[in-house]
Amino acid sequence: MAFRVVVRGVVQGVGFRPFIYRIAKGKNLRGYVRNAGNSVELLLQGEREEVNEFVETVKRDHPPLSEIFSIDVKSVADNEVYEDFLILKSEAKGETGSAIPPDVALCDKCIQEIFDPGDKRYHYPFTVCTDCGPRFTIIEDLPYDREKTTMRVFPMCRDCSREYEDPLDRRFHAEPTCCPVCGPEYILYKGRDRVNTSDPVRDAAKALDRGRIVAIKGVGGTHLATKTTMDEPILRIREMLGRPQKPFAVMARDIGSVEDIAFLGAEERNLIESFRRPIVLLKKRDGALSEYISPGLHNIGVMLPYAGVHHLLFHHSREPAFVMTSANIPGEPMAIEDKDIFSLGAEYSLIHNRRIANRCDDSVVKIVAGEKTLLRRSRGYVPQLIDLNIEDRANVLALGPELDVTACLLKGNKALVSQYIGNTTKIKTLEYLGRAVENLMSLSRVEEIDAVAVDLHPGFSTARLGEELGERYGAKVVRVQHHHAHIASLMMEHSVKECVGIAVDGVGYGIDGKPWGGEIMVATLKGFERVGSLMPQPMPGGDLATRFPARMVAGILSSKYPLKELGSILKDIKGFRNSREVELILRQLDRGFNTPETTSAGRVLDAISALLGVCYERTYEGEPAVKLESFAKGGKALVDIPVAISENKRRMVLDTASILEAALFAIGRYKKRDIAASAQKALATGLARMALMAAEKNGIRVVGISGGVAYNDAIVTTVKTVVEAEGLRFISHRRVPCGDGGVSLGQAAVAAM
């Protein structure tokens, strides 16, 4: 009898066909296996019993990187008689749904080969096999075959071909496989001049040891690297990139070095060692590395080597860790072309000649309230599909908000969320978004779009791009409110149809045209009701109040004191450039000139941060608030701070002015760290109580939190504790970021409805 078997899932580029081959041969089945679109297709000749057994074995023992969505078996009439079991060439027919695995860290077997002087791949940085190496970052089209990757310009040598053709070899159909004879190579440049050396990677490592700055082109992008034990080169990178304070990630030599740098819990250890190799935010050990790596923060982002070049750099170096920060001009995408890498101005550049098809930044993970939370979902995760529990058949494309953007393609019950794109106010980043969208579509074989989802904000360039794409595909453009999108993405992740959402972040455009950011909403995917919020607070100077948070102190306290008295209070607060600035702010508050009102939770945290002298200027997204979180880590919530919720007929309002005023009173009587911890706790408690009231009134049993403030461990822990104490279910993000990187999924979900 003959059977046609179709296996759908992540089954290409993960050693699936040799695995099938070995089982089929073992069970004496005849026929063939081949890649088809995004599935693997088999013809099996044998008894029904044997085929059933075969399917059970596949389900049970499939390769670790593969993921099976479904296996269909149909008996077919097939007169051809197969003498053996064969692996056939790919069938390039179209099917939808991406099934490409993400990039995978170099496996142990390959690492062994790199350091085996007898091996032909000794010290070869591009060594990979079927179990490891780049995937997404080199793929240009499906099916995943070498000709469809950026490896096609490196024809395999005879040795590599033999391994590639041998079903019993570890490199059977390992598309990126190569060796020093046939594969890509590194060249080291000093400035723009090629360094004449037999070992460019070793020389780059020596330059790093001397405290030089080296741009290193890697798998999905480029890092700027330098030593972690010396201040001077780190300060120089800060100068080069115009990033005075933003934390840099480091790559540690091995797990022992990680523990020398930071405290490592069991869950964090699993994350940092996983094949995805994300950057994990860990509590740092004071004094282990230069203080300029993550100034003013209690934690540090650490990752382990994931490509051959990283292992080799450490092999040739004495350092415990290197700074490894994305090489990009702020706001622009990471440099991947030689000319862009040179223009960064690093002293040395270590560049290879394999093109990067899809740029992919390092992913970032943090444990928040005991759970893994993604700050950035990129390398190692993308383009893994997110399974959703919805029945919709439409193809929906969503483009995210403005900063920290990702795109999302929703197709049936699967979502494909793009890699981290970034700040779309920059034209290069917006272009990058456009290319990433094309890529999502081609990798999922989607040619028609039914709807394009964008933010409600009329000025976002993503919204303009959405209009363009809507026109091109004849698709409806749907505008989704920012915080509704945050909560909708959370609901999608947890298959929840209705919940009370706490959406807390810096800013998002509200349906009344005002900047929102501390909202309680009763939400479904179809719509929401804003049942509560933080107290609207004036932002004297508009955007200036975001950059200089002392202005928010003035704004928030202005409802508590007559302006004259406020003026004398503000005299004691640093963070104003001079007394003229204070005068100007008071006048702005008096006349309501250039003083929009916001309900943003981020702005309240910023104000607390400035009031306590933690941070006076925001030089990167969220800086005053994340520094406040770090500052409060050492404190206890000992200060009695009022949690006052008023209710008018429109909505509940948490009085944030009273929180800030109580913090002001406490200065001098309590330790500042205790005040910080207490103020965060009061804010979180107020948000949780409003959510509980809304849940009770509407008979809802689920409360969730989303938005950038949901990275604050203390705040989320408090909210979770208060909610669960009432016996309700608490949900937070697991699969997409809480911040704006998760918004595209929510936008798509709302538009699909």
- Residues near Zn ion, by CB under 5 A: 107, 110, 129, 131-132
- Separation between Cα atoms, residue 566 and residue 156, nearest integer Å: 74
Is 737 in contact with 444 (CB distance < 8 Å)? no
**Closer to Zn ion by Cβ: residue 107 or 684:** 107
Q: Tell me how far, at minimum, the Cβ of 170 lies from Zn ion, in Å.
A: 7
HEC profile for 517-538? EEEEEEEECCCEEEEEEECCEE
Is the Cβ of residue 109 or residue 393 nearer to Zn ion in the bound state? Answer: 109
Sort 604 into a burial class: Cβ within 10 Å, 0-12 / 13-18 / 19+. buried
Q: Pick what 129 binds: Fe ion, Zn ion, none; C-beta below 5 to 8 Å, kind-dependent.
A: Zn ion
Question: In this structure, what token pair is assigned to residue 657?
Answer: 């002015």
* CB closer to Fe ion out of 429 and 747: 747
Binds 107: which of Zn ion, Fe ion, none (CB < 5-8 Å by kind):
Zn ion
Q: How far is the CB of 132 from Zn ion (least distance, A)?
A: 4
User: Quick check: 549 and 623 in contact, CB under 8 A?
Assistant: no
Identify which of 520, 499, 494 has the alpha carbon closest to the alpha carbon of residue 742.
Answer: 494
Contacts with 660 (C-beta within 8 Å, 6 or more apart), sequence order = 553, 556, 557, 604, 607, 608, 611, 679
Using CB distances below 5 to 8 A depending on partner kind, what does residue 629 bind out of Fe ion, Zn ion, none?
A: none
3-class state of residue 392 by DSSP: coil
| 74: exposed, middle or buried (Cβ count in 10 Å: 0-12, 13-18, 19+) | exposed
Q: Distance between CA 441 and CA 151 in Å, rounded?
A: 22
Angle between helices 656-666 and 601-611 (to 10 degrees): 10
Nearest Cα to 67, choosing from 91, 27, 39?
Answer: 39
Question: What sign does the CA torsion over 185, 189, 193, 195 have?
Answer: negative
Least distance from Fe ion to the Cβ atom of residue 403, Å? 9
For 554-591, b/e burial (b = at least 16 CB within 10 A) is bbbbbbebeeeebbeebeebebbeeeebbebbbebbee
Least separation in angstroms between residue 110's CB and Zn ion is: 3
Query: What is the smallest separation between the CB atom of 103 and Fe ion, expressed in angstroms?
Result: 27
Residue number, 110 or 664, with CB nearest to Zn ion: 110
For Zn ion, the closer CB: 132 or 436:
132
Enumerate residues 6+ apart whose C-beta is below 8 A from 208.
Answer: 214, 225, 226, 227, 313, 317, 319, 322
Question: What is the residue-wise DSSP string for 337-365?
Answer: SHHHHHTT--SEEEEESS--SS--PPPEE
Query: By C-beta, is 655 or 740 nearer to Fe ion?
Result: 740
Token reading at 183: 């594969």
What is the smallest separation between the CB atom of 106 and Zn ion, expressed in angstroms? 6
Between strands 408-411 and 2-10, the pairing is unpaired
C-beta neighbour count of 653 within 10 angstroms: 21
Query: CB of residue 36 vs Zn ion: minimum separation in angstroms?
Result: 26
Considering the complex, state which of residue 128 and residue 281 has its C-beta at the smaller distance from Zn ion. 128
Nearer to Zn ion, 15 or 515 (CB): 15
Binding site for Fe ion (CB under 5 A): 505, 740
Q: For residues 171 and 223, which CB has a smaller minimum distance to Zn ion in the complex? A: 171
Please report how close the Cβ of residue 734 comes to Fe ion at its closest, in angstroms: 18
CB of residue 129 to Zn ion, shortest distance in Å: 3
Tell me the closest approach of the beta carbon of residue 542 to Fe ion, in angstroms.
Answer: 18
Residue 132 partner contact from Zn ion, Fe ion, none using kind-dependent CB cut-offs of 5 to 8 Å: Zn ion
* 505 vs 629, beta carbon nearer Fe ion: 505
Q: DSSP assignment of 300-320, as one string?
A: EEEE---SHHHHHHHHT---S
Q: Which does 657 bind (CB under 5 to 8 A by kind): Fe ion, Zn ion, none?
A: none
When the beta carbons of 183 and 517 are compared against Fe ion, the nearer one is 517
Judge whether 739 and 713 are in contact, CB under 8 Å.
Answer: no
What residue 740 binds from Zn ion, Fe ion, none (CB within 5 to 8 A, per partner kind)?
Fe ion
* Preceding omega of 383 cis (within 30 degrees of 0): yes
Q: Which residue is nearest to Fe ion (CB)?
A: 505
Least distance from C-beta 622 to Zn ion, angstroms? Answer: 38
